[in-house]
């Protein structure tokens, strides 16, 4: 009798056998909200042969990555490491490890990623509260104090660099308020790490996360994460296990710390890549990196204004890594981004959430934050808008 399984086997699509043997990747200048173009030395490092994730040479690389991350974030937190995953994994790790059921988590929402933080906290059964500002605005210390007084949270979550709006939330003084009200300060630095001033210890930030593919100009997949001693104490006092095994720092710290106990197979080649990216920051020096991003952003803002195009966020609160640009009346924003990509090989981003159809998002991050790229995107926009 003929087996029914034999007739159900899938057959290969013959067209794929005759396709080009190598993946064809277009040459793009990535000036959207992320990713940015990876630095050539980072791409080179990522292409080294992998070694074992418990190899002594790899363990040495891990130590170096941790040290470089502490420098880039300006923190001495021992629990500082790259999470094996994209930025959203590091974001979830901050909440998974510190939120217990019924903990009050207060989130400042002034853009898309504040909402994401709330959603994640709810999934860990937190009592989630929120304060709100219009997209593009930031919270004052007085507003934060009033919210802490009202809600008495265990964790306050703020987005330092809101990718959806281009606004930078000041953090100076917020950590002192959190100490006063006995709560942890959690900061989203996804679009600021490697491009804007960050002083986690000075600002008393207890939990922070970022990504590899923006200001660090590294492919996505290895995401910075850090916990202060106060955050670790809260984790260690948990009455329940961390609900996410893969992101459980009480286990992972035994791999990234002294024990070097196996937890999961680390993405070895991504460790090569983020090490190379962090070395570039250290070689240039943080202050110079921040100055370069500021100078290029100012160049972009002036060029846009000369074209009669204006920014969405007031000057004093703008990110230097990502600019939200108001779409002029009568212009189809998606037609412009499509033409920029098709005619000039430049990617810029459309608006997200409440700003959809109202702004473009232009990123000048990491390796891409250079004067010649500002000239190139401005010239391309002028030509496209002229049509």
- Please tell me the predicted confidence (pLDDT) of residue 168: 98
DSSP code of 368? G
pLDDT digit string, tens, across residues 170-185: 999 999 999 999 999 9
Spatial distance between the Cα atoms of 152 and 161, rounded to a whole number of angstroms: 24
pLDDT of 18 over the 90 cut: no
Task: Compute CA distances 333 → 36, 321, 343, 354, whole Å.
Answer: 21, 21, 15, 15
pLDDT digit string, tens, across residues 128-153: 999 999 999 999 999 999 999 999 99
pLDDT digit string, tens, across residues 231-272: 999 999 999 999 999 999 999 999 998 788 989 999 999 999
- Token duo for residue 79: 């629990």
- Please tell me the predicted confidence (pLDDT) of residue 386: 85
pLDDT of 20 over the 70 cut: no
pLDDT mean over 207-220: 98
Identical fold, 29-36+286-386 and 40-282: no
Angle of helix 249-256 versus helix 229-236 axis, rounded to 10: 130
pLDDT mean over 281-306: 98
**Tokens 């507003």 appear where?**
143
How does strand 322-326 pair with strand 359-363? antiparallel
β-sheet with 104-109: strand ranges across: 79-84, 222-227, 207-209, 184-188, 155-159, 104-109, 127-132
Domain 40-282 CATH assignment equals 3.40.640.10: yes
Spatial distance between the Cα atoms of 125 and 87, rounded to a whole number of angstroms: 22
For CA atoms 188, 190, 194, 196, give the dihedral sign: negative
pLDDT of 194 over the 90 cut: yes
pLDDT band, very low/low/confident/very high, at 156 (cuts 50, 70, 90): very high
User: By the 8 A CB rule, do 365 and 215 touch?
Assistant: yes
The phi and psi torsions of 234 (rounded to 5 degrees) equal: -65, -40
- Please tell me the predicted confidence (pLDDT) of residue 324: 98
pLDDT of 19 over the 70 cut: no
355 class by beta-carbon count within 10 Å (0-12 exposed, 13-18 middle, 19+ buried): buried
pTM of the model: 0.94
Average pLDDT, the chain: 95
- Please tell me the predicted confidence (pLDDT) of residue 136: 97
pLDDT band, very low/low/confident/very high, at 387 (cuts 50, 70, 90): confident
Spatial distance between the Cα atoms of 251 and 254, rounded to a whole number of angstroms: 6
pLDDT of 4 over the 60 cut: no
Domain 29-36+286-386 CATH assignment equals 3.90.1150.10: yes
Question: Residue ranges per domain, the chain?
Answer: 29-36+286-386, 40-282
pLDDT of 281 over the 80 cut: yes
- Please tell me the predicted confidence (pLDDT) of residue 7: 59
pLDDT mean over 103-124: 98
Residues above pLDDT 90, as percent of the chain: 91
pLDDT digit string, tens, across residues 43-96: 999 999 999 999 999 999 999 999 999 999 999 999 999 999 999 999 999 999
User: By the 8 A CB rule, do 154 and 103 touch?
Assistant: yes
């Amino acid at each position: 009798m003929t087996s029914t399984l034999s007739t159900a086997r899938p057959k290969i699509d013959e067209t794929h056998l005759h396709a080009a043997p190598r993946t064809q990747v277009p040459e793009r200048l990535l000036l959207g909200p992320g990713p940015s173009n990876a630095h050539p030395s980072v791409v080179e490092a990522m292409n080294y042969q992998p070694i074992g994730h418990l190899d002594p040479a790899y363990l040495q690389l891990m130590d170096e990555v941790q040290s470089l991350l502490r420098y880039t974030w300006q923190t001495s937190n021992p629990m500082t490491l790259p999470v094996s995953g994209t930025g959203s994994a590091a974001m979830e790790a901050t909440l998974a490890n510190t939120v217990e059921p019924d903990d009050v988590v207060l989130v400042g929402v002034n853009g898309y990623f504040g909402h994401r933080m709330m959603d994640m906290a709810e999934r860990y059964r937190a009592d989630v509260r929120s304060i709100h500002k219009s997209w593009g605005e930031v919270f004052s210390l007085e507003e934060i104090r009033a919210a802490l007084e009202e809600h008495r949270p265990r964790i306050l979550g703020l987005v330092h660099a809101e990718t959806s709006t281009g606004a930078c939330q000041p953090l100076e003084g917020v950590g002192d308020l959190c100490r006063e009200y006995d709560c942890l300060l959690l900061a989203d630095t996804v679009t600021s790490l490697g491009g804007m001033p960050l002083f986690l210890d000075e600002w008393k930030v207890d939990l922070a996360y970022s990504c590899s593919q923006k200001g660090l100009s590294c492919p996505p997949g290895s995401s910075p994460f850090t916990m202060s001693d106060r955050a670790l104490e809260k984790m260690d006092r948990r009455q329940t296990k961390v609900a996410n095994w893969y992101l459980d720092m009480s286990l992972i710290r035994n791999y990234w710390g002294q024990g070097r106990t196996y937890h999961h197979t680390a993405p070895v080649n991504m460790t090569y890549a983020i090490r190379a990216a962090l070395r570039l920051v250290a070689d240039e020096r943080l202050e110079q990196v921040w100055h370069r991003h500021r100078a290029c952003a100012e160049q972009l803002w002036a060029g846009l204004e000369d074209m009669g195009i204006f920014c969405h966020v007031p000057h004093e609160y703008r990110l230097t890594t990502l600019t939200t640009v108001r779409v002029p009346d009568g212009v189809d924003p998606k037609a412009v981004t499509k033409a920029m990509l098709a005619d000039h090989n430049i990617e810029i981003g459309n608006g997200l959430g409440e700003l959809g159809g109202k702004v473009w998002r232009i990123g000048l991050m990491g390796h891409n934050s250079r004067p010649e790229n500002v000239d190139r995107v401005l010239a391309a926009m002028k030509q496209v808008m002229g049509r």
